[in-house]
């Protein structure tokens, strides 16, 4: 694949990742990294580094209209953002020590786990705790059925899950959106749209704390990042405009199919590498004549 064709495909993948990431609150990184690895044969470490940068871009582009409309809750995002930051720092420290084969397996398992149909508890009659009131982890937004009041329940359990979400963010570059939405909606009882919007804000906080470590290890290629960020920003902008009008049922079904396919393929890639003794590994050098010369190392 020549560089011009690679750039066009990378822009297309990034636009798709930004669009779906902003609409679902899962972050563009959860989609972009597998696409870069599976379709464009980018080394997984570079794909994760690029995905983290693009998750920040997705969050930045999509958060403003969501906060302006009052759907995303900034207080809840900042409170639980501290949990994901703790986990993201730990994940970043471990990322360079984890072999590529293990990352493939972890990526696949996390993607498949995100599709599990968790049942949501009815929180309507659950009283709001003193802790929730003290930290003002409550809010109200205007939905299709009028003004809807909500509050965070099971805060300790939700906080623990989000620490793990941050760990996966730093380790796998998925932006933690998969577990953000699950914890905010299924565990703590926030309305679905509020959970999606607030997750988008949390993703920017989380990935900002771990991207520096990937830069330190040389896993962020500026040319690749510059290419995909443009597509992600365009996709995120379009997605944020569609968010207020789109029906999420069909979108969630489509996203589930895509994630399941990617998860299965990532696990397959891990098995294939395990069979071949994980012979293809990337060693960072400064001798490449072109920023994309490392692409052939993962083919």
- How many H helices and E strands in the chain? 11, 2
For range 53-72, the mean pLDDT: 85
Report pLDDT digits (tens) over 97-114: 777 677 778 778 877 877
- Confidence at residue 228, expressed as pLDDT on a 0 to 100 scale: 93
Q: Check residue 277 and give its pLDDT.
A: 63
Query: pLDDT band at residue 285, thresholds of 50, 70 and 90?
Result: very low
Confidence of residue 272 (pLDDT cuts 50, 70, 90): confident
| Range 45-69 average pLDDT | 84
State the angle between helix axes of 192-216 and 44-68 in degrees (0 to 180), rounded to the nearest 10. 140
Lowest mean pLDDT across 52-56, 93-97, 219-223, 279-283: 279-283
pLDDT at 289 over 70: no
Give me the chain's average pLDDT, please.
79
If phi > 0 it is left, if psi is from -120 to 50 it is alpha, else beta; for residue 206 that is alpha
- From the list 1, 91, 99, 3, the residue with the least C-alpha distance to 44 is 99
Question: Is residue 271 pLDDT above 50, yes or no?
Answer: yes
Confidence of residue 120 (pLDDT cuts 50, 70, 90): low
Per mean pLDDT, which of 36-50, 148-162, 168-182, 241-255 is the most reliable?
148-162
CA of residue 197 relative to chain centroid, distance: 13
CA 119, CA 96: separation in Å to the nearest integer? 36
Sequence-separated (6 or more) residues with CB below 8 Å from residue 100: 43, 44, 45, 273, 278, 280, 281, 282
Cα–Cα separations (whole angstroms), residue 153 to 143, 159, 177, 191, 245 = 20, 11, 19, 12, 28
Question: Residue 72: pLDDT band by 50, 70, 90 thresholds?
Answer: very high
Asked if residue 157 has pLDDT above 50, the reply is: yes
Report pTM. 0.77
Domain residue limits at 236: 3-298
Distances (CA, A) of 148 to 24, 45, 124, 142, 191: 20, 42, 11, 6, 9
For residues 250 and 137, give the distance between their C-alpha atoms in angstroms, rounded to a whole number. Answer: 30
Radius of gyration of the chain (CA): 19
What total number of domains does the chain contain?
1
Output DSSP code: residue 293.
G
């Amino acid at each position: 694949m020549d560089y011009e064709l690679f750039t066009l495909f990378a822009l297309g993948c990034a636009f798709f990742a930004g669009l779906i990431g902003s609409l679902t609150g899962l972050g563009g990184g959860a989609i972009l990294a597998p696409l870069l690895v599976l379709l464009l044969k980018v080394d997984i470490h570079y794909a994760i580094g690029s995905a983290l940068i693009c998750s920040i871009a997705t969050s930045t582009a999509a958060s403003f209209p969501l906060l302006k409309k009052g759907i995303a809750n900034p207080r809840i995002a900042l409170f639980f953002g501290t949990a994901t930051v703790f986990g993201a720092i730990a994940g970043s420290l471990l990322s360079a020590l984890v072999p590529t084969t293990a990352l493939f397996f972890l990526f696949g398992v996390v993607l498949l786990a995100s599709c599990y149909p968790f049942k949501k508890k009815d929180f309507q009659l659950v009283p709001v705790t003193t802790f929730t009131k003290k930290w003002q982890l409550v809010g109200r937004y205007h939905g299709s059925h009028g003004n809807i009041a909500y509050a965070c329940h099971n805060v300790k359990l939700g906080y623990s899950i989000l620490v793990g979400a941050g760990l996966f963010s730093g380790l796998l570059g998925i932006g933690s959106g998969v577990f953000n939405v699950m914890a905010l909606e299924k565990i703590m009882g926030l309305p679905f749209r509020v959970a999606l919007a607030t997750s988008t804000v949390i993703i920017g906080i989380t990935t900002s704390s771990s991207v520096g470590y990937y830069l330190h290890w040389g896993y962020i290629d500026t040319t690749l990042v510059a290419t995909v960020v443009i597509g992600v920003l365009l996709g995120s902008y379009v997605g944020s405009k569609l968010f207020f009008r789109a029906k999420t049922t069909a979108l969630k079904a489509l996203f589930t199919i895509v994630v399941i396919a990617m998860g299965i393929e990532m696990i397959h890639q891990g098995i294939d590498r395990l069979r071949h003794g994980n012979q293809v590994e990337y060693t960072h050098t400064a001798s490449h004549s072109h920023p994309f010369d490392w692409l052939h190392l993962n083919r």
